[in-house]
Amino acid sequence: MRPVCPALFLAAAALAQNAPYPVDVPAARIVKALDEPQNWLTYFGDYKGVRHRALNQVNTANVRNLRVDWIFQIPTTGRFETVPLVVDGVMFFTAQNGHAFSVDARSGRQLWHYQYKPTEGTADGLNRGLAILNDKLYMGTVDGHLVCLDSKNGQLLWNAEVASAKAGYSITLAPLAVKDKIIVGVGGGEFGIRGFIDGYDAKSGQRAWRLYTIPEKGEPGGDTWQADSWKRGGAPTWMTGTYDPDLDTVYWGVGNPGPDLYGQDRLGDNLYSCSVVALDPTTGRMKWHYQFSPHDTHDWDANETPMLLDLPWKGQMRKLLVQANRNAFFYVLDRTTGEFLMAKSYARQTWLKEFDAKGRPTPLPDTEPSEQGTRLCPGLAGGANWMAPSYNPDLQLFYVPYREQCDIYFSTPPKFVEGKAYWGTATRGVSDEKEWGVVKALDPLTGEGKWEFKFYHAGWGGTMSTTGGLVFAGDADGYLVALDAKSGQLLWKLQTGAEIATAPITYMVNGKQYVTIASGAALITLSLP
């Protein structure tokens, strides 16, 4: 018989005694998520989308000592884009191909595992995360369903079909829990869908409302679509929105029109594609919209984070919405009215001549895709994309990760077949130029750049800010880096072994701060020794 080590026995007993317990996250708690820096209660960490945490145990003086604490390997392949939730020592996250997990946030010990079985014939797909409300979790699926799980054990409670996978719809985003509703958007803008945003009753799974992001003929904005092109006009809603509880308004980005990259069959502004829409979370009624790229033919959607900031605009406090758009411009809007206040380029762009007073852009000549090819910046992937920005309220700096890449756009007319790719154009990179990635600090009131940090390749990793004076970001080569929030100086880096295509989070359990990032097929969590 082997002797038992007393120290190990006592440690195991203590771990069992302090094991995570069932969680409860009522809506009022999510409203005040920033008052719980030890937790991460929504996809963005809070309703405003600032991705900032008032934690400073890990800081500029000691971040060089950050090391791997635990690693959780997922049983699937593909791009790992999850952003975990952390509630009182329990972590919940998704993985590609329908997986959801709960683990002890201190050790990575698995508590439960759920796998969704998609409709037969549906391709595997990525997933960016969960929503939590009370004691239930909500996950979108690659075949267009919304499922509800018991947070204690991962048991399936209900399953609602949002849209048909056969028609090209999917859900890859993390849902947004607002009051008693679960709000979801759909992907599939490249498959001739008609985009929408849905609100579901959190308890029953019954659909409460639907807001189509393409109006029919006869509805406001319906005349911005040629003939019946609105029926297959795209305008997907594939990234999570933000919410202002004081205004009781949800803000959601809308994607590209279809056919993607070809506009001759859909002449007009193509509302509400490439827009941000403000809506009532109880009824789904649209309050206002602003369109960043009317009649888009370059795949410059507006699904990037609609971050909410309260700042003095020209001497007067304003409720602002800011977005680093895919078209390479940083925008400032009044989020109460939708009024355009400012736009300034943060990356290379060769398409814009000017904005008018209401923020409508006037493109330069010869910037449309063409048969012989048109070279244009930014490229197909943007500028910014789903990579999450962050904001440090102490320094009043907005940190945007983006891609520097120009493309050559070619134009050919497409043919619509339901459920098939509906692309009218091809692109290729500019062969005589290497792309690269950037994290840039901006003054959100002027759009002026304060510093930038360059990655070797253009990537898909987002950022996170802390009161420890740090900005964490990941890159396509697998590096997780910590930058000085004031200067952009590289303070620490870790080679995770695989591409990072999501944003890090930070949280605290039992007085210890952790940093977590998804990379390859692993969820990696770090802390100080």
The distance in angstroms from the start CA to the end CA of the chain is 34
Say how many residues make up the chain: 529
**Type of residue at 515:** V
Q: Which residues pair with 448 in a beta bridge?
A: none
- Which residue in 104, 269, 299, 475 is the catalytic one? 299
Query: Quick check: helix, strand or coil at residue 248?
Result: coil
Token digits of residue 259: 């056919």
Q: With CA atoms as reference, report the closest residue to 439 among 489, 401, 386.
A: 401
Query: Quick check: helix, strand or coil at residue 189?
Result: helix
d(CA 217, CA 230): 8
Cβ atoms of 325 and 379 within 8 Å: the answer is no
> Exposed, middle or buried: residue 204 (CB in 10 Å: 0-12, 13-18, 19+)?
exposed
Query: Quick check: helix, strand or coil at residue 385?
Result: coil
Q: How many CB atoms lie within 10 A of CB 153?
A: 11
Query: Quick check: helix, strand or coil at residue 136?
Result: strand
Triad 265, 270, 272: Cα angle to 5°:
150
Which secondary structure element, helix H or strand E, spans residue 467, and what is its range?
Answer: none
Cβ atoms of 514 and 71 within 8 Å: the answer is no
Active-site annotation holds for 407:
no
d(CA 127, CA 140): 8
**Type of residue at 204:** S
Q: With CA atoms as reference, report the closest residue to 88 among 464, 503, 507.
A: 507
Which of the residues are catalytic? 299
